[in-house]
Amino acid sequence: MRLENVTVLGAGGKMGRGIALLLLQQMAMQSGASYLHLIDLDESQLTALRPYFREHLRRFAEKNIIRLREQSDMVSNQEVIEEYIERGLDLIYLHTHLDASLHSTHIFEAIVEDVEKKAKVLSYINRQSVASPLFLSNTSSIPIHLLNEKADLHGRILGFHFYNPPPVQSLVELVTLEDEKMREEGEKIAKCLGKVVVRSKDVAGFIGNGHFIRELSFANEMLSKLPEKIGPAVIDYVTREYLIRPMGLFELLDFVGYDVAKRICTIMNDQLSENFKLPPKWNREEVEELEEFLGPLPEGHKTARDARHGMDFESYFKNLFHSKEKGAKLAVDFLLESRKIALNLTLQGVAESIEDVNTVLMTGFHHLYGPDNPWIPKERK
pLDDT along the chain (381 residues), means of 10: 94 97 95 93 96 97 93 88 96 97 98 97 97 97 98 97 96 94 96 96 98 98 91 95 97 95 96 93 80 94 96 95 96 96 97 97 96 83 62
Helices then strands, counting H and E runs in the chain, come out as: 17, 8
Q: Is residue 373 part of a domain?
A: no
| In a shared domain, residues 161 and 292 | no
Domain that includes residue 292, residue range = 208-364
pLDDT of residue 196: 97
Domain harbouring 270, CATH code: 1.10.1040
| In a shared domain, residues 121 and 165 | yes
| In a shared domain, residues 221 and 315 | yes
**Contact criterion met (CB below 8 Å) for 236 and 250:** yes
Residue type, 260: V
- pTM for this structure? 0.94
State the total domains in the chain. Answer: 2
Please tell me the distance from the alpha carbon of residue 262 to that of residue 213, in angstroms, as a whole number.
9
pLDDT of residue 374: 84
pLDDT of residue 381: 62
**Contact criterion met (CB below 8 Å) for 159 and 174:** yes
pLDDT of residue 288: 76
Domain harbouring 169, CATH code: 3.40.50.720
Q: Is residue 46 part of a domain?
A: yes
**Contact criterion met (CB below 8 Å) for 257 and 265:** no
| In a shared domain, residues 321 and 287 | yes
HSE-up of 329 (CA within 13 Å, CB side)? 9
Q: In which region does residue 212 sit, left (phi positive, over 0), alpha (psi from -120 to 50) or beta (all else)?
A: alpha
| In a shared domain, residues 220 and 196 | no
Q: Is residue 370 part of a domain?
A: no
| In a shared domain, residues 52 and 189 | yes
**Contact criterion met (CB below 8 Å) for 298 and 328:** yes
Q: Is residue 153 part of a domain?
A: yes
pLDDT of residue 191: 95
pLDDT of residue 380: 74
List, in order, residues 6 or more apart from 22 with CB less than 8 Å away.
162, 166, 167, 193
| In a shared domain, residues 186 and 80 | yes
